[in-house]
Homo-oligomer: A and B are copies of this chain.
């Protein structure tokens, strides 16, 4: 056993993040009792305060983990497409689809911003927005899209898609609303394209 110490620590951190993520993603941040979900992980609030300072610190760690996963997924999607433009459209669709997943919706689009403020700000541009920005930059360099500020466009898309996702997810008839939402969203994307 050379260094089981660091492993144990990392394991504890991982357990806390996993437990918090599960609780935040299901019952929500405000309803999640620290005693409860640390207990489920076989730990106590002591460990949480030691590693993350407070409940918000844990939420931040959870968000960073999810953001990294989303970025990875977006990169995969855009890399798999045959053309740049198609890759971008696919990326945006994937973004909406991710925003439909209850855990992502709750943590990244509801509780996160409410508790920590604008998530896209307290970090130096989070991965999932940066990924959209990069795709737009490439399209712009290729002359495929109109002359627009790419970060602004990325944030417009971010805002629009997350709201579309909320609308769909909370609709009485998600299927029908989804058709309308995606159609409108693609129309908006199309307007970015040159010609």
Contact = CB atoms under 8 A, between A and B. Distances in A.
A114 B111 contact: yes
Interface string A170-181: 110000000011
A167 interface: yes
Contact of A170 (B121, B164, B188): B121
B170 A163 contact: no
B118 A153 contact: no
B113 A114 contact: yes
A187 interface: yes
A185 B181 CA distance: 19
A98 interface: no
Interface in A120-169: 120-121, 146, 148-149, 151-153, 155-156, 158-164, 166-167, 169
A121 B167 contact: yes
A118 B170 contact: yes
A121 B173 CA distance: 12
Interface residues on A, range: 35 or more
A122 to B, nearest CB: 8
Given A110-B114, A171-B121, A155 B149 contact: no
Contact of A159 (B121, B164, B170): B164
Contacts of A120: 166-167
A1 interface: no
Contact of A153 (B169, B171, B184): B184
Contact of A149 (B162, B180, B191): B180
Question: Can you list the 6 inter-chain pairs with the closest CB atoms, starting with the nearest?
Answer: A159-B163, A191-B191, A114-B114, A152-B184, A121-B170, A118-B170
